Amino acid sequence: MFFRARRAFGRAWFDFNCRALLRTAPIHTSDGRITLVSMLCHGEATMYLLAVKSFCAQLGLCPKVVVLDDGSLTQSDAATLHAHIPGARIVPIGSVAPERCPKGSCWERLLLIADLVQESYVVQLDADTLTANSISEVARCIEEDRSFTLLGDGSYPEIEPMLHACERSRSNRSPMVQAVCERSFDQLSECASLQYVRGNAGFTGFARGSIDREKIAWFSDRMRSIAHDKWDEWGSEQVASNLLIANSPGAQVLPFPKYLSYWAHAGVPYDAASFIHFIGPHRFANGFYIECAAKAIAALQMHR
C-alpha cells in the first residue's frame, strides 16, 4: 500500500511540474514507414506524451503511433492522447490474443509488435522514457532497417553467443525468471546456434519483418522447457524480446552511457545521456526526472 501511495504521489507531482507540456504543439505522422508502440496505463498520460514528443523531436520525424491500452485508460486519457497525437490508434489489450505465450506482463505488447512489424519498422517506447539529445544510432538503425535494444543495467555490452551468456550467468542465483533462463540456456539443444543480449525491453527497435507470432511462440516454448511455471512470471517477455533482437540480422546494442536506465548510481553521467529510461524503483529519485522533463518541455515550447 505504501508503494502504491508513493507512486501515485510521484506521478501527481510529476504531472504538476510538467503541466506546460500540455501547451506544446500536437504531433502528426510524417513517416508512415515507422510505427511507435507503447503500452499505457491510467495515470501515465503526461509521462507518455513527454516520451513521445521528446523522441520525435530528437529523431526529426513522427512515426505512426499505436497505444496498447492495458485496460485502465479512461475516456479522459483517450481524449488527452488524441488532442496531442490526433492520429494515435488505441488498441484494447483484450483484442490481442496471447495464443501459446503467457498472458499479461507485456506479452500482448510484444505480440502486437509482431503484427505491426510485417508492414513497418517498429519502435517500442516505454512511457517512462525521455529523449534529451541526438539519437543518431537509432536513426541509423531505422534507416538501415536493423533492430536495436537498450542495454540492461550492468549488462555485457554486446550481442554474444548464447552459450557465452549462459556461462557468464552461472553465478547469478536470483530466482527471477530472467536469471533462471540465462543460467540454464545450455539445456537447450539449439544453444550453440543462437545469440543473446541482456537488453531492456523499455526501448527496442524491430526491423521490418524481423519477427512474427510463430517465432515468438517458438522462443516461448523453448524457454518454458527450462523455466517451467516460472515462465508465466513478470520478466519473461523481456527474455523473449532479448532473444528476438539478438537473433535478428544486423541488430545493434545502443551504446552505454549515451542510452541508459536511471538507477541513481553514483558516478554514472546521467546528465550527459541522450536517452534515459526512468525505471520504476528509482523513477522519481533525486528529482532528476522532473529536471530533465523541464529542459525537454522548454525545448518543445521553442518549436511551437
**3-class state of residue 268 by DSSP:** coil
Closest CA to 210 of 145, 125, 162: 145
Beta-ladder partners of 130: 276
Tell whether pTM > 0.85: yes
Cell of 186: 545450455
pLDDT per residue over 182-224, tens digit each? 999 999 999 999 999 999 999 999 999 999 999 999 999 999 9
Check pLDDT > 80 for residue 3.
no
Q: Cβ distance 206 to 122 under 8 Å?
A: yes
Q: Is 83 within the bounds of a domain?
A: yes
Residue range of the domain that includes 90: 2-155+198-211+249-301
How many structural domains are present in the chain?
1
Rounded Cα–Cα distance for residues 109 and 98 (Å): 10
- Give 235-249 pLDDT, tens digit per residue: 999 999 999 999 999
> Does some domain include residue 189?
no
Residue 2 pLDDT more than 70?
Answer: no
Confidence of residue 104 (pLDDT cuts 50, 70, 90): very high
CA distances from 1 to 4, 55, 234 (A): 5, 33, 20
Average pLDDT, the chain: 96
Q: Which residues contact 138 (CB under 8 A, 6 or more apart)?
A: 59, 123, 148, 205, 254, 275
Cell of 194: 543462437
Mean pLDDT, residues 115-133 taken together: 98
DSSP state of 213: H
State the burial class of residue 75 (Cβ atoms within 10 Å of its Cβ: 0-12, 13-18, 19+).
exposed
State the pLDDT at residue 79: 98
Cell 507470432, residue located? 213
pLDDT for the residue numbered 283: 94
Report yes or no on 181 lying in a domain: no
Report the phi/psi class of residue 60: left, alpha or beta, with left for phi > 0 and alpha for psi in -120 to 50: left
User: Per the domain annotation, does 120 fall within a domain?
Assistant: yes
Q: Return d(Cα 13, Cα 19) in angstroms, integer.
A: 10
pLDDT of 88 over the 80 cut: yes
Confirm whether 232 is domain-assigned. Answer: no
Q: Give CA–CA dist 122/120, Å, rounded.
A: 6
Nearest residue to 10 (alpha-carbon basis) of 46, 55, 50, 53:
46
CA gap 207, 161 in Å, rounded: 21
Give the HSE-up count for residue 111: Cα atoms under 13 Å, Cβ half-sphere. 23
Mean pLDDT, range 158-173, rounded to an integer: 96
Give every strand in the sheet of 252-253, ordered side by side.
89-92, 63-69, 31-40, 121-125, 199-206, 148-151, 252-253
Higher pLDDT, 303 or 10: 10
Selected residue with higher pLDDT from 235 and 7: 235
270: domain CATH number? 3.90.550.10
DSSP state of 232: G
> How much is the pLDDT for 98?
87
Taking 3-state DSSP, the helix, strand and coil percentages for the chain, each rounded to the nearest 5, stand at 45, 15, 35
How far is it between the farthest Cα atoms of the chain? 56
Examine residue 217 and state whether it is found in any structural domain, yes or no.
Answer: no
Domain assignment of residue 173, yes or no: no
Query: Do 58 and 274 touch, CB atoms closer than 8 A?
Result: yes
pLDDT for the residue 265 = 93
Is residue 163 in a domain?
no
Distance CA 159, CA 165 (A): 9
- For residue 51, give the C-alpha cell: 516520451
137 touches 254 (CB < 8 A): yes
DSSP at 43 = T
